Amino acid sequence: MSLEKFGDSFINFIYSLAKSQVLGEYDGIKVPNSCLAEALTLSEVESPRRSDKHKKGDFVEKIVAKSWIDGKITEEECVEIIKSAIMKYDLKERNEERKAIIEGFKDLLNEIKKRV
């Protein structure tokens, strides 16, 4: 299994857990690559050159997973960072949730950048 594939599962897990804690009910979601790509663009992390949204999404999945594997950040910290961003949004509205995902992962990427 590639780091990107593992990262995809990890990203979906931490976001689903954060969303479930904010809403007070269980939910599982597939985080779109387009949201991860936009979060990367808005973050302080340098984006890979000449990459489309799929490659940018894979890049985010890889660096988040690697940071967790290397002990730079815990899954609890990831969830808390995302929760603090998404609780401002109406997660039952699709456009609002998209904005929440982007902000949450932008904040997570910025925190990871500080730690590595």
Quote the number of domains for the chain.
1
The DSSP letter of residue 13 is: H
- Among all chains, which residue has been given the structure tokens 């890049």? 59
Torsion over CA of 70, 36, 90 and 22, rounded to 10 degrees?
-10
pLDDT (tens digit per residue) in 16-39: 999 999 999 999 999 999 999 999
CATH of the domain at 101: 1.10.1520.20
Phi and psi for 72 in degrees, rounded to 5? -75, -25
Q: Could you tell me the pTM of the whole model?
A: 0.95
pLDDT (tens digit per residue) in 68-112: 999 999 999 999 999 999 999 999 999 999 999 999 999 999 999
The boundaries of the domain holding residue 7 are 3-115
